[in-house]
Chains A and B, each alone.
Chain A
Amino acid sequence: MSNGQTTSRYTIERLQSIDRRIIFVFIAAAVIIPLLLGASLKEETTPIVRALFDYVDHLPEGSRVLLSFDYGPTTAPEIQPMVDAVLRQCIERKCKLYMMAVWATGHNLVGQTIEEILKSEYPQLQYGQDYVNLGYKAGSQGLIRLLVVDFKRMYSTDAAGTAIDSIPMMQNIGNLKNFDLIFSFGGGFPGIKEWILYAGDPGHIPIGGGCTAVSAPLLYPYYPSQLVGLMGGAKGAAEYENALIQAYPKFSNMPMAGMSLMMSQTVSHIVIMFFVVLGNVLYFIGRNRNASTKPGGEK
């Protein structure tokens, strides 16, 4: 075996076991640079997102929509654009918004969303008449099971401690079956799956969802029988935003968080693909060299 062959094999082996921090630098650049440049990409709406959008768009005025914030700051960059888009659409449809959280970390996000979307974009909406913040309650799927039977047993006050019976829009709420649609945002536990198993199926209540891209494949089996529709990851959010802009052109000049993530996602996908290709090219070169230096050896 010549020195040249040894050197090139050594180089290939080095490249195959490349320091993962080099890959990290490329991915960081792929994510950060498009975000800094402010580039955004439009997404065509796929059927599973379209089904959800259309369902909300056909809700009659005054429909009760429950939004459960089942996520935390970790997944907020992926999930929050979905929440914002759904809220804007529901307000356009003049739905009544009931916001709650089965995740402790979701509690603060309800408050932030109310400040950033409802109070700043729709100051005419009145608390208790048009929307209510029910806050976080512990109990995970046990809580959901109880809410299907008796809502007020678990929620005797809203997040600020106001008695639930003194809130006008809570008057006719006996249990979850009184809602026209339940949205769960977040693919963790408890999340969309638990809302389907413990509320949607037993109570025959329509469930819609928005989750991280990682969780989406797990939830596809529930569509369309048990799930009205699903937004998966930043792409799902961007698709919903696209549908929203098409249906309500007034939003076309508004910056959409989901769409602004798509350029980053596209570039980082390309970077990952590049490394996968590189890994395979090196793998095949290495394998062929091994085979040629070991005649009759196992291939």
Chain B
Amino acid sequence: MKRTVPLLITLVVGAALIIADFVPHRPFGTLGDDFSLYFDIIAVFAFILGGGNLVRVHIMKLSKKRKDWPFSIVTLAGFFIMLAAGLLKIGNPDDIKGDVAALGSLFSDLYISIFTPLQASMFALLAFFVGSASYRAFRAKNKEATILLVSAFLILLGRTPLGLWLTEGIPDSISFLELPNLANWILDVPNLAGQRAIMIGIALGVISMSLRVILGVERTYLGQDND
């Protein structure tokens, strides 16, 4: 039973949703949207599970004074302060009826003064890591790596005004050799062709994987093996 019921639900819902895409008439047409909403409702309730798990893990860490326990105080404080600010709409100019993120509310202040700089800092790490990764990875070790290296160079140059400046004097008859044009060509032609091929492969992979799940051939995700 533990295995059959979820498999049946998957089969019926999967088949119904595929039908729903091609049969607009009620009750099929709205099935897709309804199931999307059901998923969101379940996900919202599941958040209580997640939030509860986070709080439990950090309270345990605090109470047992495990390694790095002071960080748990920051986590728990951040969690409860933001939750209270959003739920109770503390400092909201229109009180409890107003927009949760109205300017002047505690939620908005925390968002602007803490959340925004923290998020931006994390994302900014990408610039540094791109630098260190390219230093390590872009080595002309073989033919393919050399092509990759040359393309990367042309795009790095072509995507900045420096590229235009360096090749500005090129006659119009061979203007395709201007660095911005070369960079655009690499993006528009070989990159686009490659991206399309990967996307077609992925889409077919998704179809095959989904059918395996719908038909119950793949059931590892259920916590059961099918060997």
Contact = CB atoms under 8 A, between A and B. Distances in A.
Touch between chains A and B, by CB atoms below 8 Å: yes
State the main secondary structure of chain B at its contact with A. Answer: helix
12 contacts: A24-B128, A73-B120, A108-B112, A142-B40, A143-B36, A160-B102, A220-B188, A220-B191, A221-B196, A266-B160, A276-B134, A276-B149
Interface of A: 18, 20, 23-24, 26-28, 31, 41-44, 46, 72-77, 105, 107-108, 111-112, 115, 135, 138-139, 141-143, 145-146, 149, 159-161, 213-214, 217-218, 220-221, 235, 262, 265-266, 268-273, 275-276, 278-280, 283-284
A76 B120 CA distance: 8
Complex A-B, nearest 9 residue pairs according to Cβ-Cβ distance, in ascending order: A142-B36, A74-B123, A73-B116, A266-B160, A20-B132, A275-B135, A74-B119, A24-B128, A27-B131
Contacts of A269: 156-157, 159-160, 162
Given A73-B115, A270-B162, 5 more contacts: A108-B112, A220-B195, A235-B160, A266-B160, A275-B134
A107 B101 contact: yes
Interface stretch (B91-99, B204-212, B219-227): B91-99
Contacts of A23: 128, 131-132, 135
Interface range, B side: 35 or more
B139 interface: yes
Given A73-B115, A139-B40, A220-B188, A268 B127 contact: yes
Interface in B121-146: 122-123, 126-128, 130-132, 134-136, 138-141
Interface string B155-171: 01101111010000000
A283 B139 contact: yes
A217 B119 contact: no
B9 interface: no
A262 B161 contact: yes
Given A139-B37, A221-B192, A46 B184 contact: yes
Nearest to B153: A273
Nearest to A259: B161
A201 to B, nearest CB: 12
